[in-house]
Amino acid sequence: MTGVRVRGCTVAFGGLRAIDDLTLDIPANAVTALIGPNGSGKSTFVNMVSGQIPPRGGQVLLDTDAVTGLRPDRIVHKGLARTYQVPRVPKELTIDEVISVPLLYARSDRPLPGGARSAADLARYCGLRPEVTTRCGRLSVSDLRRLEIARALACRPRVLLLDESMAGLSLEDTDQVIGLVRDIHASGVTVVVIEHVMRIIARLCSHAIVLNQGRLLAEGPPPQVLTMASVREAYLGKGFTL
Ligand X SMILES: Nc1ncnc2c1ncn2[C@@H]1O[C@H](COP(=O)(O)OP(=O)(O)OP(=O)(O)O)[C@@H](O)[C@H]1O
Q: Which residues of this chain interact with ligand X, rule CB under 6 A?
A: 13, 16, 18, 36, 38-44
Q: How far apart are CA 142 and CA 125, in angstroms?
A: 14
Least CB distance to ligand X at residue 234 (A): 12
The residue among 33 and 95 lying less far from ligand X, judged by its C-beta, is 33
Least CB distance to ligand X at residue 146 (A): 21
Least CB distance to ligand X at residue 13 (A): 3
The residue among 93 and 167 lying less far from ligand X, judged by its C-beta, is 167
The residue among 44 and 50 lying less far from ligand X, judged by its C-beta, is 44
The residue among 116 and 210 lying less far from ligand X, judged by its C-beta, is 210
Nearest to 53 by CA among 94, 17, 86, 103: 17
Which stretches of the chain are assigned E, i.e. beta strand? 4-13, 16-26, 31-35, 57-62, 65-66, 80-82, 159-163, 190-194, 207-212, 215-220
Sheet holding 207-212, edge to edge: 80-82, 159-163, 190-194, 31-35, 207-212, 215-220
Least CB distance to ligand X at residue 47 (A): 7
Helix then strand then coil, % of the chain, to nearest 5: 35, 25, 40
Least CB distance to ligand X at residue 194 (A): 7
The residue among 121 and 148 lying less far from ligand X, judged by its C-beta, is 148
